[in-house]
Structure 1
């Protein structure tokens, strides 16, 4: 690191859990963020602010006026632009020293598998079960940690799935395919309070930074947040021996 980098990241380097070595790992790290909306916005901005050296943002959608209430990587002038491109520009404005790639398409199939395999951590900031199942399977196959977040109305949740831990569950253990719940509900149909996505997205970014830097202990289980009461709850999530994704792996 040069003097400017030492100054930029000095408040993190001061932390004994991070120090120079942890910051160097962040600068050499690569995160794949799928979804550049409500969750992906704070994720992208905090990751580059903290000095994650390489960031890949994937989103096929365009910025709409109704997004601006909560998707803080985008501005009024970005309406009509691709979200990944808009978020890339915002991230580089915050920290031009990071490498930020935008993928303006839905990642799926081989493209998703390749992108996951190239990353040190994947952050799922999407809002559909189909996308989450596909991302989970790609991360499991690549052996890459997955940080999953969700936010709707006043409720949010976070879970980390790390296939490097032989006892760790995967997303399909928590939500078996074919079992639907409130998480499938989308903001467009059900609404969401603006700062909630910031709370959960920041939590996702924190876990990704811990995983890459080696600081602390990765999150375990499922954490849920009730924005109306301000209460957090944590639930253990066992690995499902009959899981169609991770059983036998």
Structure 2
């Protein structure tokens, strides 16, 4: 619950295909109401059938009440979205991609008379080798600090060690660092020693009975045959997963972090 001295933020995990979109359409309003949330940040990079985000879905997310859409390594896969990476300030791609890549990695939004920054970074362990998220992350944070003490980081990464290390590196300089990409919600939500909220992975907004959102039969066949089978989104009842973080507006310190999972019928 927010008051004049705090803001409440919902951060939702990767939206995966039609089940994830349906869950967001059905459940975001009640989540906002239940948590009395002031700001909503959603990772949308798997929303378009598991690979990227379409321009149509982007517009629908914003209409629903999403304030900022973050992403990761799949954000480039829907061509109709590419022009919006430059023109839409509320749509982010990881900041540590080369500067020649379209888009931007951070934004500052107005929320109830306060400015809140959102920064998107991508890991390098078991993903493509791009610029250092530690170096780029600190540089971006120092620039954003000139505008607001409230900074939220979506770190889209595979490796738990990399996520924990970056969170502790930025502890006290940002309000929250949340991991995305692995689609499995972790149970390690905490406030770090210098008042930064942290969770290794927000989880999945998508089908609950799945292999990280994908059809289990195909995923099992891939493991057993080692053939490059294309994953398909599972058609099962979805969940919404993420965290609710409360932040002091004056200091940017995290006051609390609460993990949630909401289930929905098809």
Q: Establish whether TM, by shorter chain, passes 0.5.
A: no
In terms of fraction of residues, the more helix-rich structure is 1
In terms of fraction of residues, the more strand-rich structure is 2
The TM-score normalised by the length of structure 1 is 0.39
The TM-score normalised by the length of structure 2 is 0.37
